[in-house]
Each structure stands twice: as C-alpha cells, then as structure tokens.
A = this chain, B = another copy of it.
Amino acid sequence: MISLVIVEDINEIRNGLSEFFKFQEDILLLSAHNSIKDFFDNFNQDIEPDIFIMDIGLPGISGIAGIKMIKEKYPNSDFLVLSIYESEDKVFDALCAGATGYLIKNTPLEKIKDAVVELKNGGAPMSPKIARKVIHHFSPKKQSNLNEILTPKEKEIVNYLVEGFSYKQISEQLNNSIETIRHHIKNIYKKLHVNSKTEVITKSLKGEI
C-alpha cells in the first residue's frame, strides 16, 4: 500500500488525480493540496508519505522550494514531479532539489499510476523526453575542440593545475624549469582565450576542455 500526497494548483488536474487514485487499491491517497502552504497548514497525519506527486509551478512557494522544505521534514519521501515544464533548467532544478521522478503533465492517469509504483519499487520514472534530456547531460560535449588544440604537454599541465599544483610543484613533477611551465601556461591561456588559472580550472571542471 503506497501512501500518496498530491500537490497541484489546477483544480481539474488535482481533482482528476484524486478521484483516480482514491479508487486504486494498492494506493492510499492521504490528501491533496493546491499549494505548499496548504500542505503544511493542513496535513496533520502522523505518517511520512511514501510519495508526493508534485507540481512545480505552484502559487506562493514553488514546487522546487517545496520539495526541499518537505524533504527536511520527511527525508524518506519520494517526489514525482508532474509538470508542464520540459526545459533542462526546470528538470535539473527539480532533480537537484531531490525529485526522483519527472513526468510531463499530459501523461495518462494509468501511466502516472505505473510511475508511482515504479518509483516506490526503486526506479526513477521519467517521460521519454525528460529521460533524454537527463542523459544528454552526460553525453560527450561538442565543444571538445578546445581539448584538441592543446598539445599533450599542455593537457598534462592543465591537469596539474586542476589538482592544485603550483608552477613550482609542476616543474618538480615534470623535471622542467619553472620557466618552461610558465611558457606552457602562457600558451594554454592564449589557446583558451583566458587570463588566469581560475578560468582554466573552471573550464576543465565544467568539461569544456
């Protein structure tokens, strides 16, 4: 029996979900709310809900902030986002807030039910387009031509910079003069169009090199 809370501001959708889920025999619908505030004001039950179906675009406190707030009170609850938003920004905001599922709002009720069950069973249900955006986060970057213009030596030095080595330390590692290191670093800055170690490091850690 999966205990479920719904937070959705559009009446038709919230009522449609409520009517549907209160007749599912493996689901216990605890309550439905039109805002995060309404949830905190009116949810008085002494159990930690298994799953929240959560909209993002809520009045007052957003669904993103709401996930964070609710998760502080109920750290074991899972959040299935049901949203019109398909943009990578929103998707990642929700995931970074702690959501473990994300469906687009036109998903049929039966499939939402399937997602709730999958979520409870340890999966991470996502609409196909959403899954694709999530995967895209890991795909090889196109701008790795930056990496192609650096010589092997220059790449090695970038790696040492990222690890926090000073010029002197790098020179000791590579058995070169510190002047050589400076020379290489100058070339790296020129090729990458940057002017500081920090810029090289952030580019590297962001996967742009």
Number of interface residues of A (CB under 8 A): 38
Contact, CB under 8 Å: B140 / A98: yes
Contact, CB under 8 Å: A128 / B135: no
Would A118 and B128 be within 8 Å (CB), given that A92-B138, A134-B135, A206-B205 are in contact? yes
Inter-chain contacts of A101 with B (CB < 8 A): 135
Chain A contacts with B in 19-57, Cβ cutoff 8 A: none
Contact, CB under 8 Å: A100 / B198: no
Contact, CB under 8 Å: A124 / B132: yes
Inter-chain contacts of A124 with B (CB < 8 A): 126, 128, 131-132, 134-135
Inter-chain contacts of A198 with B (CB < 8 A): 161-162, 164, 197-198, 201
**In the complex, which of the residues B97, B100, B128, B161 contacts A122, with contact meaning CB atoms closer than 8 Å?**
B128
Chain A contacts with B in 136-189, Cβ cutoff 8 A: 138-140, 161-162, 164, 166
**In the complex, which of the residues B100, B132, B134, B199 contacts A164, with contact meaning CB atoms closer than 8 Å?**
B199
Residue of A92, A162, A198 contacting most chain B CB atoms (<10 Å):
A198
Query: Is A69's CB within 8 Å of the partner chain B?
Result: no
Query: Is A87's CB within 8 Å of the partner chain B?
Result: no
Closest B residue, CB atoms, query A198: B164
Query: Is A106's CB within 8 Å of the partner chain B?
Result: no
Contact, CB under 8 Å: B201 / A95: no
Query: Is A63's CB within 8 Å of the partner chain B?
Result: no
Can you name 21 A-B pairs with beta carbons within 8 Å?
A71-B140, A92-B138, A100-B135, A118-B128, A123-B128, A123-B129, A123-B132, A124-B132, A125-B131, A131-B131, A134-B134, A134-B138, A162-B198, A164-B196, A164-B198, A164-B199, A198-B198, A201-B201, A201-B202, A202-B205, A205-B205
